[in-house]
A = this chain, B = another copy of it.
Amino acid sequence: MTPPPASTTDSLPQDAPKAAAVAVESVRPPHTNYGGPSDFLSRVGNFSIIESTLREGEQFANAFFDTETKIKIAKALDEFGVEYIELTSPAASEQSRLDCIAIANLGLKAKILTHVRCHMDDARIAVETGVDGLDVVIGTSSFLREFSHGKDMTYITKQAIEVVEFIKSKGLEVRFSSEDSFRSDLVDLLNIYRAVDKIGVNRVGIADTVGCANPRQVYELVRTLRGVVSCDIECHFHNDTGCGIANAYAALEAGATHIDTSVLGIGERNGITALGGFCARMYVADRDYVMSKYKLHKLRDIENLVAEAVQIQVPFNNYITGYCAFTHKAGIHAKAILNNPSTYEILKPEDFGMTRYVSIGHRLTGWNAVKNRVQQLGLKLNDEDVKAVTAQIKELADVRPLNIDEVDTLLRRFHEDKKNGLDESQSMIGNDDC
């Protein structure tokens, strides 16, 4: 947990807010736990992350990770504290196989998994790479059975049992997952999950491969499955319709134990549950658990590492590390934030090595925020003065936003003029918190 830097500009993310910004001393209000574990099923305070940037993430349009980059990313994720790191199938290409071997031999704390089709050929190649476990997957939806591999459930079940037993015989951890689970027949799913649970699979997996599921569907399916199998339950959510993080949360509420993530959510199409956003959600549910397990202040470096590797910009609105995630603008927000950050902040920036900003050089500014800046500059102005100069800022910012230097100049000039007895008070007070 790093304290926020004193200055406005320190650790200000690239292309910082254009409008004037003021760093604010952070107040620590007593922690309250919003949306925390409510019923006995819930695992929101006890889950593991299966980090799939090096598998799902490699399916992102831009992704091409050479061995060195893969190793850098694996080490960074290990330091961050994820419990598992999932790698592309060694059957995908010769280099993919060699990279599995290289990463499995790094001696990381995180368990190394590789993701393979439910297929003896792939399983045989994978168990020789030295990974700790295999994530086995096969499509079970009518769509995939008809248009992808064209196999029926009896065949799939038989194959699943053969592959799972083979992997167990090698002493490795094994997960069996369906693909496109939310468009698969419920009874088919429960049958095959129970079959692999009976022969001692470590985890069964549910995957929203197309990103169609919503949180209530997820809660229902996971809760039902929780009553059928005794093994762990892993969930994988694509984000096509914006529910990747919420679905992961709903799954944990229903008793899921493992969640798949990738850095910045990179994956097929627009990706999956993002590591950073997932941490933000879980922090709000159980801050102590999340802070005890993951080095949250390393998030930004990992995101920058991956963003550079796949040649993308971190989105302006990215969770936690997006450059405006802790910027407050409206006067009514600024006023309250200055009294107590918890009024408009559910995430404490300092817990993530970030800094809070209150933007003041714009038409929505308020005199309380300006007063705070006046005090930071050590100027002597009473409330009436501050309201008057705030009115001037609003008037100028109605034409174009002011940067912090322009605001400071205005404040200093107003202070000078006042000393020289020229009070420029104007009439626009009272709009302080729009």
Interface residues of A (CB under 8 A from B): 17-19, 32, 34-35, 58-62, 64, 88-89, 91-96, 116-117, 121-122, 139, 141, 143-144, 146-149, 180, 182-183, 209-217, 219, 239-247, 249-250, 253, 264-266, 268-271, 274, 277-278, 280-281, 283-285, 311-313, 315-319, 322-330, 332-333, 335-336, 339-340, 342-347, 359, 362-364, 394-395, 397-401, 428, 430-431, 433-434
Q: Which residue of B lies closest to A219 (CB)?
A: B216
Contact A242 B281 (CB under 8 A): yes
Smallest beta-carbon distance A84→chain B, Å = 19
Contact A240 B325 (CB under 8 A): yes
Contact B148 A343 (CB under 8 A): yes
In angstroms, Cα B18 to Cα A231, docked, is 41
Contact B35 A213 (CB under 8 A): yes
* Residue from B17, B216, B266, B269 within 8 A of A250 (CB atoms): B216
5 closest cross-chain pairs (CB), A and B: A246-B246, A242-B245, A315-B315, A17-B61, A147-B339
Q: Which residue of B lies closest to A94 (CB)?
A: B398
Contact B315 A268 (CB under 8 A): no
Contacts of A146 in B (CB 8 A): 339-340
In angstroms, Cα B277 to Cα A244, docked, is 12
Question: Provided the pairs A95-B363, A241-B281 are in contact, do residues A19 and B61 lie with their beta carbons within 8 angstroms?
Answer: yes
* Residue from B250, B394, B400, B434 within 8 A of A122 (CB atoms): B434
Number of this chain's copies in the complex: 2
Contacts of A93 in B (CB 8 A): 363-364, 394-395, 397-398, 428, 431
A60-B329, A147-B339, A270-B317 are known; give 9 further A-B pairs, CB within 8 A.
Answer: A64-B401, A92-B434, A95-B399, A143-B342, A149-B433, A216-B250, A241-B281, A241-B284, A270-B322
In angstroms, Cα B244 to Cα A143, docked, is 30
In angstroms, Cα B211 to Cα A277, docked, is 12
Q: Which residue of B lies closest to A311 (CB)?
A: B18
Question: Provided the pairs A241-B245, A339-B148 are in contact, do residues A325 and B270 lie with their beta carbons within 8 angstroms?
Answer: yes
Contacts of A434 in B (CB 8 A): 88-89, 91-92, 96, 116-117, 122
- The 9 sampled A-B contact pairs (Cβ below 8 Å) are A35-B212, A35-B214, A59-B329, A61-B327, A210-B346, A214-B215, A243-B246, A269-B324, A270-B319
In angstroms, Cα B313 to Cα A95, docked, is 34
Contacts of A250 in B (CB 8 A): 214-216
Contacts of A247 in B (CB 8 A): 246
Smallest beta-carbon distance A34→chain B, Å = 4
In angstroms, Cα B398 to Cα A264, docked, is 24
Q: Which residue of B lies closest to A282 (CB)?
A: B241
Q: Which residue of B lies closest to A312 (CB)?
A: B316
* Residue from B148, B243, B319, B324 within 8 A of A60 (CB atoms): B324
